[in-house]
Amino acid sequence: MYTPPFTVSAKAINLIADIAGLIERYAIRLEQEDGLLLRKINRVKTIHSSLAIEGNKLSEDEVRDIIDGKTVVAPIREIQEVKNAIATYELFSQLDAFKENDLLRAHGVMMQALVDNAGHYRRGGVGVFGEQGLVHLAPPADRVPMLMGDLFDWLKHSNDHLLVRSCVFHYEFEFIHPFIDGNGRMGRLWQSLILGKLHPLFEHLPVENMVYANQQAYYDAITASTKAGESGPFIDFMMQEIYNALKAHQGKPLKNKQVPGVPNKVPNKVPNRLRMLYPDISNACWEVYLQIKATPHATTSEIGLALDISDRMVRKHIATLRDCRLIERVGGNKMGYWKINK
């Protein structure tokens, strides 16, 4: 059986032990009452970060709006990239990280309408270019099927720890660069899928967000491994990022988390005359009204975090307030805000 060249450093061994301890703590964290909201927030961060690394300029709010089915004014290709990523990540539980055909299937969804041969390995040469010119010349196209077949065979049958295998696969995948486009986002997705074999929580851990925040270090680790002829430096980097991502999500429930610019408790009270005029409006809806009054430029997700309710419920309450003409929209979907009517 072919074995990719790699070394596991003392740092990586220590991180494996540390990550194992954090996994169970994060699993418990996801079972708290705000777990569903946390999963949604992390999915938005995952999709936004993975595409931003590839040059997509849509904001987290715009990605969230697309997920929620709202209209976003932006370049068609960037919107298509987000829609494709949403559809691909929705397949997460259906994809087997050890099956090569599932990789091709996922690429077909991820790159639909973006490249001509989505779901198929490239038929021509490809290189990775940086500011200094050519950084990496990928293997010839006619070798790709064999190289990917060997890589999947090793992934499935190796006795190495899944954390190690996920990092090695990610690096080797980027080195082979099997597709004409979409290799970066597919490599990060597939590492998460492999980690999902270790624990299902990795579907909801935004490792991509950590990579995005350390994008240059990510590329430097790939370059260092290429120069070394083995993926040891990349293993160290990704292990640290996984550890950092888990560590960052050991905090308090979202309802105790202060959102910048949005107070958790708004001191103002709804005037009695309004309550008498609109007796059918719920207390939860009035709380949204007060949040808008206190911070009119807050996003629906920020209001939801402050009140510990879902983004969908915030939008529902806003619709109620709008229909009662208690609030009105000033400006468009992207740059506008809700205004309290006097």
Is residue 149 part of an annotated ligand binding site? Answer: no
- N- to C-terminal Cα separation, the chain: 74
Q: Is 207 annotated in some ligand binding site?
A: no
Per the annotation, does 219 bind a ligand?
yes
Rounded to 5 degrees, what angle do the CA atoms 55, 58, 59 make? 120
* Cα–Cα dist 329/322, whole Å: 8
Q: Count Cβ atoms below 10 Å from residue 204 Cβ, excluding itself.
A: 22
**The one catalytic residue among 177, 204, 249, 317:** 177
130 is in an annotated binding site: yes
- Catalytic site residue 177? yes
181 annotated to a ligand binding site? yes
Cβ atoms of residues 88 and 73 within 8 Å:
no
CA distance 342 to 329: 14
At 52, list the tokens: 């931003």
251 is in an annotated binding site: no
User: Do the Cβ atoms of 138 and 177 come closer than 8 Å?
Assistant: yes
Q: Binding residue per annotation — 171?
A: no
183 labeled binding residue: yes
**How many other C-beta atoms can be found within 10 angstroms of the C-beta atom of residue 102?**
17
* Region of residue 182 (left: phi > 0; alpha: psi -120 to 50; beta: else): left
Residue position matching structure tokens 């709010």: 61
288 is in an annotated binding site: no
Per the structure block, which two tokens stand in for 171?
């690096």
Q: Is 333 annotated as a binding residue?
A: no
274 marked as binding residue: no
The answer to whether the annotation marks 132 as part of a ligand binding site is: yes
Angle of the 162-176 helix axis to the 10-30 helix axis, nearest 10: 110
Does the annotation list 212 as a binding residue? no
Q: Is 136 annotated as a binding residue?
A: yes
Residue 281 CA to residue 125 CA, distance in Å, equals: 62
Q: CB of 333 within 8 A of CB of 295?
A: no
CA–CA dist 15, 17 (Å, integer): 5
Annotated binding residue 230? no
Tell whether residue 196 is among the known ligand binding residues.
no
- Mark the binding-site residues, compressed into ranges: 128-136, 181-188, 218-219
Residues marked active site are found at: 177
- Mark the binding-site residues for ATP, compressed into ranges: 128-136, 181-188, 218-219
